[in-house]
Amino acid sequence: MGELTPTVAAPGVAQANLDVFSGTLQELAATDRDLLVVTSDSRGSGKLVPFAERFPRQLVEIGIAEQNLVGVAAGLASTGKRVFAVSPACFLTARSFEQIKTDVAYSDNPVKLIGISAGVSYGALGSTHHSLHDFAALRAVNNITVVAPADNFETEQAIRAAAALDKPVYLRFGKKPMPLLTKEDVPFAFGKGRVVRQGADLILIGTGETTYPALQAAQKLAAEHGIEATVVSMHTIKPLDYDLLAELAATGAPIVTAEEHSIFGGLGEACASFLLQNGFRNRFKIMGIPDEYTVTGSQLEIMNHYGLSEAGIAEAALKLLKLSVMPSAAEASRVQQ
Q: Does a cis peptide bond (omega within 30 degrees of 0) precede residue 213?
A: no
Nearest one of 157, 156, 192, 149 to 174, comparing CA atoms: 149
Choose the weakest-confidence range: 165-169, 229-233, 286-290, 331-335.
331-335
What's residue 337's pLDDT?
A: 54
Secondary structure (3-state) at 103: helix
Residue 143 has pLDDT above 90, yes or no: yes
**Chain-centroid distance, C-alpha 121:** 13
Residue 335 has pLDDT above 70, yes or no: no
What's residue 7's pLDDT?
A: 36
pLDDT, tens only, 244-273 = 999 999 999 999 999 999 999 999 999 999
What is the pLDDT confidence band of residue 332, given thresholds at 50, 70 and 90? low
pLDDT, tens only, 294-323 = 898 999 999 999 999 999 999 999 999 987
d(CA 227, CA 214): 14
Residue 54 has pLDDT above 70, yes or no: yes
Residue type, 10: A
CB 52 within 8 A of CB 59: yes
Q: What is the mean pLDDT of the chain?
A: 91
Pairing of strands 15-16, 177-178: antiparallel
What's residue 8's pLDDT?
A: 41
What's residue 10's pLDDT?
A: 42
Pairing of strands 15-16, 59-61: unpaired
Q: How would you label 11-24 residue by residue, b for 16+ Cβ within 10 Å and e otherwise? A: eeeebbbbbbbbbb
pLDDT, tens only, 102-122 = 999 999 999 999 999 999 998
Q: Which domains does the chain have, with CATH numbers?
A: 15-178 (3.40.50.970), 194-335 (3.40.50.920)
| Dihedral (CA of 21, 112, 135, 5) sign | negative
